[in-house]
Structure 1
């Protein structure tokens, strides 16, 4: 199965590496050819003290770019970066999201809906994992189904229809590669809504979510430490340090975090470890080189949900307000009738005793930024990524109305993934016929090797619904699949300022994807129709405008396209699966407004997305041809500080997502809503700060999520829910702890009303529902010095 070879992408990568090496080796010649004007600073400033905003009002992120120059400037040198202390706004629209544009545009200058959640906001709102962060974003929901951890729903699309990126790099489809991730080592999480293949390539039909690790800054060394504990006996700890070293031009950042998050179900927990570091070395005003390394590990004893149970069986233990509907088991085909969640199963773990869900990941990244000429900058990044993942669980728990037992089934799979690649940008600032223009040309290449041993048999048994004996996995036999994927892309992105307030922004991406697949049985023999190869060449893009009608008030519109593999998982694509492309397009328009002396900000957007040639997940790891998927909606966010101590914020998103032409033998799902897509998602919060000798702030946040379905059939409804958190913190003066500059103690109550609700459903495992966490209490402490 290893006889397949891909030669061209390796040559491409060697060429990219040679370019990087040439710049490093022939540095004197390169420097002799360039002008002496300096590049804009590229270091990232550390987060400021706590923001006067909300999850919808994010801290501004550090800049590493310059705005396009006005005609008539004395030289074509990029402008210096404005300090982040001057860039903060209630909704953080002065932040720069590099996953949304390579042009160095702020959120307000980008003709798309973009949201940036900063590290300061994550700490303030108590976001412990990236799934928590998503729950605070506008119109985004998340679920940590252990088969596909950190799954997201956004604008009517879910899972692998949303690209997840790590410092702008895609490692594969979300439902194969994403993991539960602690937020302690992150500088920001960026949300780009709508088809975004221009920026992140194949797969971004619903948008992209980018996780940005903490970066070095230039200046005095700053340290931070955080600790927390909650009533489920969970704990988190983090230490970070960064600043300038004694070596002129050398800055560093180092972070290490450890967590053990216990679940509310018996014997469930997730342990994480994340160690990351980066060095930035500014050799001269015109040249910077950098290198980064990160190791991540997570180990879980997983919670796979509570089974749907007939109301007739549960009797007085039947619950209301969690699920509703009539259901025929996908697994054992028995008719359950009207279903419920039995209150005796709230804390039950149906997984086997020897279960495990483990991943280890290593990142190596490095690159340079070189000013070739006053108006020409070359940036290049090379990266290598490796991951080992294992699932060894009982994954199915389906109630059988014929036996009144829970039928279980085991599943094992492992991943061994290796990825290498390079991304090179050439940034050209020019004046075209009197108009400012910035053009970024990007050349990227990657080569991925993926080996997937998996179960060839699926042991199962039947156990009682209440107090079940958990048992062990049992006999395991293994078969193996492989995928080798090469990817090359050439893209162009341009911003042309026709007036001081009106700009056109557009781009085009041409991408080649090559796939070689093989699959063998438990005896090592190749299966029918394997091996096979396939390639695709999607072309995607974006065109839009921004118009600052009056200072602070910006209108925008865009048309954007995306593409992904129709079977929705290139790693598992079979020769009998559809081998053509799914395409998506969006029309979007909106407004972003900053006013009242920067104390208030709001944004609004409306969109229409159409995705064609869609394949949808069905129970039993099957795919159905779903025809078209349509999504239309609006989003509104606002944040205001009417008086100094008081802060108010809120956001609401409405989406009408449905299938069209979803017909099959025996029925039709046309008009149905995709799984895990609520029609309405709303967040709101308020806080008040008492300026006492020891400043105290109290706050409350609320979240409402509408009805959702767990499958395309739309027969079982996960009911709408509303939850609220409250918190209070005290800032302890330096006179108390002389060794630290800032100290904060926080008390937080999550889900204060102890609401029981369904948070997520896996359409591949439709017999069970994941429940949300009950009320928990948390204490935390944070220090900076």
Structure 2
């Protein structure tokens, strides 16, 4: 890391926006020039590979079923397309992940571990929320803890150590901005492993997860509708439409979805509503403009988990296999001794009756893509985002070993967030000494304004363990905190092909981060130490290679660095605590192999990550300085179709994540494992398709997650668990519904063994753990026409 002098934030933002405006203002001149001679069409595909993959020798219907992770439909996605992208591969390595590289590379051409999970895979595997999607990926776990919904863990890192992106844009720290999101409006979910500051900016120590909304395609209008209902009385509905309009060059996409997902705990649910739309207008072969808008909201009555209870107290009601270990309450200080989850609390909701979790979000995005010359392309987009969020709950559920009751504590917080920004890319394809080269220069800037009213008092009470009187929130007194973050970055990414099979890929990012915080008391007076500003100028990057040793077999390695603002919550870090950047670096190597006429594919990677100046949750909304975190591991994934009706797939990840130099007054956590990090995560699935007049497919999927801890102290273990799902679907021929091209009915059993397990633990609330959902049954229908 080094410091570099950068222009002031607002000037930089204005300059970036002015570049977009200038290019837009110059469009008429560009068009006038085209009147005499049109420029060639925009082509942003990666360089041609040495050998074109041979298409599968199967009919169209069976070819559509050839993959375990089906790639995004290329014709329907307005993004760079690789030459072989139309050929499906079992692990989707022909898909282009823009969150992993701005060079337009496919997954197989990128010197990093990347997964792209398509909309078709989400539908087939029954992924209803983005947390479901993440849990099907290699080595990723997720938990919808209501304080930090859609929280993820991978490669030993969790929460805001993983960047959450929306169409490639970061909106703020994950643990403050993410929400439960339905998958209906998504085209794909991209998962990039390891430090990723080069592409997505500060915050990406463990990687980045990018949610890509459905986009327009050129061609006939296609419509789709989906419906589902389950045994918890949950329902989902979605309608989408897209294609070319009667206006030459104008394509559209529109989606609307609604869901009501009921929880297994008493009086819990999450309701979502999402409307998204985008217009692409191809003015000429060299110029495209576009605009997009999205409104999203979720409203829920939250489940905050089951309290840890002494085994001695629960006696015959103590459960086995959910948690183990001993615990001294972080909340009330009583010694619980060996702990368990009482089987009388598996469905108990300890939240107050008037609880609520609410969020409303609005996105505005727009930009252009202009071919300045045959080898020079300019792309730019401006965006604006606004969100209102609020939490009004009882959040602490701590068993008191002295009174044998559950001590509760209320919490309230709200967000009013505004974000504006611009990202501009200039892509130059050139030839250096006879070698193909592509360089992308990116200029980006954003301005984030965060206002956070929060509770100044925390009403509390005690209730019975088995039959709690839930009551109401009570008196609320508030105070306010604010934070403003300026972010400006200049980055370069380059790919040089030294031979037809060997390429060097690297990049450098110079970034300015400015943080300005304030905090007031209940009467509006500034607290001691506030306001305070702080700024950083990290330099991060990546250098790596890819080598296609034989057609389809690609080796890769990389060294990458990342940086993020200290602490996993910008409002918890005190003005007297050190305000240094947290930095990370990774070494990674691996192989990606597609073979057997694209009927089989596997990948392997090994990595070593070090993150320094780590801040960790200490419980009770406080932070400890953890010094350093080391994470080493391997990941293996594969998929194969040995015969036409049978498909097999699986993945496994092993990680050894440890704290180092984690010393504090009263003890040390050096050598301990971070919370919610299992050593082993494995997924597997198999399906068989009966090629009858009404094609039927049956399948089974399984997931194993190893032991995890719920706090840095590592005294309580959330025990390993294995769960499985069953599904069967039938494709109804078009002759049955003449107006519908494709119709599918699906029946699914989730957690068919009805396993009781702990899925997540919040280290800020270590007195309780979140339990996984029991067995549920679901029926769904999907139509395309």
For these two proteins, the number of residue pairs brought into alignment is 763
> Aligned match of 1:36 in 35, 38, 53?
38
Aligned-residue offset at 1:82: 4.1
Superposed CA offset, 1:264-312 (max 9, x none): 0000000000000000000000000000000000001000000000000
Does the CA-based 8 Å contact 2:99-2:168 persist in structure 1?
Answer: yes
Which residue number corresponds to residue 426 of structure 2? 426
Taking the TM superposition and a 5 Å limit, the aligned residue runs for 1:277-316 are: 277-316=277-316
Closer/same/farther in 2, CA of residues 7 and 288 from structure 1, 3 Å limit: same
Which residue number corresponds to residue 548 of structure 2? 548
Does the CA-based 8 Å contact 2:72-2:187 persist in structure 1?
Answer: no
Does the CA-based 8 Å contact 1:51-1:121 persist in structure 2?
Answer: no
Aligned-residue offset at 1:430: 0.2
Does the CA-based 8 Å contact 1:13-1:421 persist in structure 2?
Answer: yes
Distance in 2, matches of 1:583 and 1:607, equals: 17
Which residue number corresponds to residue 335 of structure 2? 335
Taking the TM superposition and a 5 Å limit, the aligned residue runs for 1:357-368 are: 357-368=357-368
Q: Name the SS for the 2:183 alignment partner.
A: coil
Aligned-residue offset at 1:24: 2.5
- Most deviating of 23-32 and 462-471: 23-32
- Unaligned runs of at least 5 residues, structure 1: 1-5, 67-79
Q: Name the SS for the 1:675 alignment partner.
A: coil
Does the CA-based 8 Å contact 1:323-1:339 persist in structure 2?
Answer: yes
Does the CA-based 8 Å contact 1:87-1:95 persist in structure 2?
Answer: no
Closer/same/farther in 2, CA of residues 180 and 49 from structure 1, 3 Å limit: farther
Aligned-residue offset at 1:31: 3.5
Q: Name the SS for the 2:385 alignment partner.
A: strand
Closer/same/farther in 2, CA of residues 755 and 763 from structure 1, 3 Å limit: same
Distance in 2, matches of 1:781 and 1:240, equals: 14
Does the CA-based 8 Å contact 2:657-2:673 persist in structure 1?
Answer: yes
Aligned-residue offset at 1:567: 2.0
Does the CA-based 8 Å contact 1:56-1:136 persist in structure 2?
Answer: no
Which residue number corresponds to residue 508 of structure 1? 508
Closer/same/farther in 2, CA of residues 571 and 53 from structure 1, 3 Å limit: farther
Asked if 1:711 corresponds to 2:711, the answer is yes
Does the CA-based 8 Å contact 1:56-1:637 persist in structure 2?
Answer: no
Q: Name the SS for the 2:337 alignment partner.
A: strand
Which residue number corresponds to residue 65 of structure 2? 52
Does the CA-based 8 Å contact 1:410-1:460 persist in structure 2?
Answer: yes
Superposed CA offset, 1:482-541 (max 9, x none): 011111000000000000000000000010011111100000000001111110101100
Does the CA-based 8 Å contact 2:572-2:621 persist in structure 1?
Answer: no
Closer/same/farther in 2, CA of residues 486 and 571 from structure 1, 3 Å limit: farther
Q: Name the SS for the 1:636 alignment partner.
A: strand
Aligned-residue CA RMSD (Å): 1.7
Superposed CA offset, 1:614-644 (max 9, x none): 1111111111111110000000000000011
- Most deviating of 730-739 and 413-422: 730-739
Q: Name the SS for the 2:625 alignment partner.
A: strand
Does the CA-based 8 Å contact 1:552-1:594 persist in structure 2?
Answer: yes
Distance in 1, matches of 2:492 and 2:213, equals: 26
Does the CA-based 8 Å contact 1:697-1:730 persist in structure 2?
Answer: yes
- Most deviating of 29-38 and 577-586: 29-38
Superposed CA offset, 1:585-605 (max 9, x none): 000000000000110000000
Superposed CA offset, 1:71-115 (max 9, x none): xxxxxxxxx86485x231000000000000000000000000000
Aligned-residue offset at 1:61: 5.2
Distance in 2, matches of 1:65 and 1:146, equals: 34
Does the CA-based 8 Å contact 2:82-2:96 persist in structure 1?
Answer: no
Which residue number corresponds to residue 775 of structure 1? 775
Superposed CA offset, 1:100-156 (max 9, x none): 000000000000000000000000000000000000000000000000000000000
Closer/same/farther in 2, CA of residues 64 and 437 from structure 1, 3 Å limit: farther
Aligned-residue offset at 1:316: 0.5
Which residue number corresponds to residue 484 of structure 1? 484
Taking the TM superposition and a 5 Å limit, the aligned residue runs for 1:199-348 are: 199-348=199-348
Superposed CA offset, 1:323-367 (max 9, x none): 000000000000000000000000000000000000000000000
Distance in 2, matches of 1:125 and 1:339, equals: 35
Does the CA-based 8 Å contact 2:78-2:215 persist in structure 1?
Answer: no
Does the CA-based 8 Å contact 2:573-2:623 persist in structure 1?
Answer: no
Distance in 2, matches of 1:239 and 1:39, equals: 33
TM-score when scaled to structure 2?
Answer: 0.95
Does the CA-based 8 Å contact 2:68-2:647 persist in structure 1?
Answer: no
Superposed CA offset, 1:390-433 (max 9, x none): 00000000000000000000000000000000000000000001
Q: Name the SS for the 2:160 alignment partner.
A: helix
Closer/same/farther in 2, CA of residues 588 and 56 from structure 1, 3 Å limit: farther
Distance in 1, matches of 2:9 and 2:586, equals: 32
Does the CA-based 8 Å contact 2:649-2:684 persist in structure 1?
Answer: yes
Aligned-residue offset at 1:576: 1.4
Which residue number corresponds to residue 565 of structure 1? 565
Which residue number corresponds to residue 691 of structure 2? 691
Distance in 2, matches of 1:65 and 1:676, equals: 35
Asked if 1:23 corresponds to 2:36, the answer is no
Distance in 2, matches of 1:367 and 1:213, equals: 16
Which residue number corresponds to residue 657 of structure 1? 657
Closer/same/farther in 2, CA of residues 602 and 49 from structure 1, 3 Å limit: same
Superposed CA offset, 1:207-226 (max 9, x none): 00000000000000000000
Aligned-residue offset at 1:462: 0.2
TM-score when scaled to structure 1?
Answer: 0.95
Q: Name the SS for the 2:468 alignment partner.
A: coil
Q: Name the SS for the 2:598 alignment partner.
A: coil
Taking the TM superposition and a 5 Å limit, the aligned residue runs for 1:639-650 are: 639-650=639-650
Taking the TM superposition and a 5 Å limit, the aligned residue runs for 1:4-153 are: 8-32=8-32, 36-40=38-42, 51-52=64-65, 58-59=71-72, 82=83, 84=85, 86-153=86-153
Aligned-residue offset at 1:53: 5.2
Aligned-residue offset at 1:9: 2.9
Closer/same/farther in 2, CA of residues 628 and 506 from structure 1, 3 Å limit: same
Asked if 1:735 corresponds to 2:735, the answer is yes
Distance in 2, matches of 1:41 and 1:549, equals: 27
Q: Name the SS for the 2:121 alignment partner.
A: helix
